Amino acid sequence: MAEAPKRVNVTSVLRGSFLGHPYVVRNLPFVAYLSALGMIAIFLAHRAEQQARSISKLSAELSEIKSEYLEAKSTLMRMGTESSVRERAQLMGLVPPTKAPERITLPKDDTE
């Protein structure tokens, strides 16, 4: 007569007595391999999420720096216009010349 299969009780699972079964021992390397793959997948997912957060933070910082650059550039352009320079010069007490500048000519030497 064939032997009836043993039923696994809750107490045998809690005690861990099924771990000594030859079928479990034979498949233990495969279970370890699957566990290692699972841990690697979890690690890589965590790393990818961390990289995505870092990229998002850096892109926000980049857009802020770009806006600061454009603001500084437009301010510099406004400060460089002739009317703006003239206004700032008048505040310092400088006035624009009323007559044209004179050209300075050097006498030519025949020795050269």
Instruction: Please tell me the distance from the alpha carbon of residue 23 to that of residue 69, in angstroms, as a whole number.
Output: 68
Dump pLDDT digits (tens) for 14-60.
Answer: 766 667 777 777 888 899 999 999 999 999 999 999 999 999 999 99
d(CA 84, CA 90): 10
Residue 60 placed within a domain = yes
- Asked if residue 11 is part of any domain, the answer here is no
Q: Give burial (CB, 10 Å; 0-12/13-18/19+) of 70.
A: exposed
Q: How many domains does the chain have?
A: 1
Residue 12 lies in a domain: no
Task: Tell me if the pTM is above 0.75.
Answer: no
Q: What is the residue range of 77's domain?
A: 22-91
Q: Is residue 6 part of a domain?
A: no
Q: pLDDT tens, 48-96?
A: 999 999 999 999 999 999 999 999 999 999 998 988 988 888 899 888 8
CA distance 92 to 79: 15
Domain-located, residue 99 = no
